[in-house]
Chains A and B, each alone.
Chain A
Amino acid sequence: MQDTILPMWKTVTRSLFSKSACKMYPAQEPVFFERTRGRIEMEPSKCIVCTLCAKRCPTGAIVVDKEKNIWQLDRFKCILCGVCVEGCKPKTLTMANHYTGPAVKNQIERFTVTPPKPRYKEPHKLPPTTAEH
Chain B
Amino acid sequence: MPRRTIIPFGPQHPVLPEPIHLDLVLDDEKVVEAIPSFGFIHRGLELLCTKKSFQDLVLVAERICGICSFIHGLGYSQGIEKIMDIPVTERAHYLRVFWSELSRIHSHLLWLGLAADAAGFESLFNHCWRIREKILDIIEETTGGRVIFGVCKVGGVRRDVDDDTLKRILGQLKEIEADYNNISEIFIRDYTIRHRFSGVGVLSRDDAHRLGAVGPTCRGSGVNQDQRKLGYAVYNDLDFEPITESEGDSYARCMVRVREVSLSFELIRQAVNKIPDGPVDIKVKGFPEGEFFSRLEQPRGEVVYYVKGNGTKFLSRFRIRTPTFANIPALVHMLAGCDLADVPVIVLSIDPCISCAER
- Report A's interface with B, CB cutoff 8 A: 1, 3-5, 7-8, 10-12, 15, 21, 33-37, 58, 79-82, 86, 95
Contacts and interface: CB of A to CB of B under 8 A. Distances in A.
Contacts of A8: 123-124, 186, 190
Interface stretch (B64-72, B141-149, B252-260, B303-311): B141-149
SS class of chain B's interface: helix, strand, loop or mixed?
A: helix
B52 interface: yes
Nearest to B131: A21
B213 interface: no
Contacts of B144: 33, 35-37, 82, 95
B183 interface: yes
Interface in B87-144: 123-124, 127, 130, 133, 137, 140-144
Given A8-B186, A11-B186, A58 B191 contact: no
A76 to B, nearest CB: 16
Contacts of A15: 127
Contacts of A1: 191
B59 interface: yes
A127 to B, nearest CB: 42
Given A36-B144, A37-B144, A5 B191 contact: yes
B304 to A, nearest CB: 25
B159 A35 contact: yes
B150 interface: yes
Interface of B: 52, 56, 59, 63, 123-124, 127, 130, 133, 137, 140-145, 150, 158-159, 182-183, 185-186, 189-191, 194
Contacts of B150: 37, 80-82
Contact of A7 (B59, B143, B186): B186
A82 B265 CA distance: 30
B113 to A, nearest CB: 14
A10 B158 CA distance: 43
Question: Among the interface residues A8, A11, A15, which one has the most CB atoms of the partner chain B within 10 A?
Answer: A8
B182 A11 contact: yes
Question: Among the interface residues B52, B145, B183, which one has the most CB atoms of the partner chain A within 10 A?
Answer: B145
Contacts of B123: 8, 12
Contacts of A35: 140-144, 159
B182 to A, nearest CB: 6
Contacts of B194: 4
A5 B185 CA distance: 11
A7 B130 contact: no
Nearest to B123: A12
Nearest to A1: B191
Given A35-B143, A58-B52, A81 B186 contact: no
Nearest to B186: A7
B191 A7 contact: no
B95 to A, nearest CB: 14
Contact of B56 (A37, A58, A86, A95): A58
B186 A58 contact: no
B189 A3 contact: yes
11 contacts: A4-B194, A7-B185, A7-B189, A15-B127, A33-B140, A34-B141, A35-B140, A35-B141, A36-B140, A80-B145, A81-B150
Contacts of B143: 35
B190 A5 contact: yes
A79 B189 contact: no
Please name the 4 residue pairs, one residue from A and one from B, whose CB atoms are nearest each other, closest first.
A4-B191, A37-B144, A35-B144, A58-B56
A7 B140 contact: no
A103 to B, nearest CB: 20
Contacts of B140: 33, 35-36
Contacts of A36: 140, 144-145
Contacts of B185: 7
Contacts of A5: 190-191
Contacts of B182: 7, 10-11
Contacts of B137: 33
A80 B56 CA distance: 13
A31 B190 CA distance: 36
A112 B30 CA distance: 69
B251 to A, nearest CB: 14
A33 B159 CA distance: 15
Nearest to A32: B140
A21 B130 contact: yes
A35 B57 CA distance: 23
B152 to A, nearest CB: 12
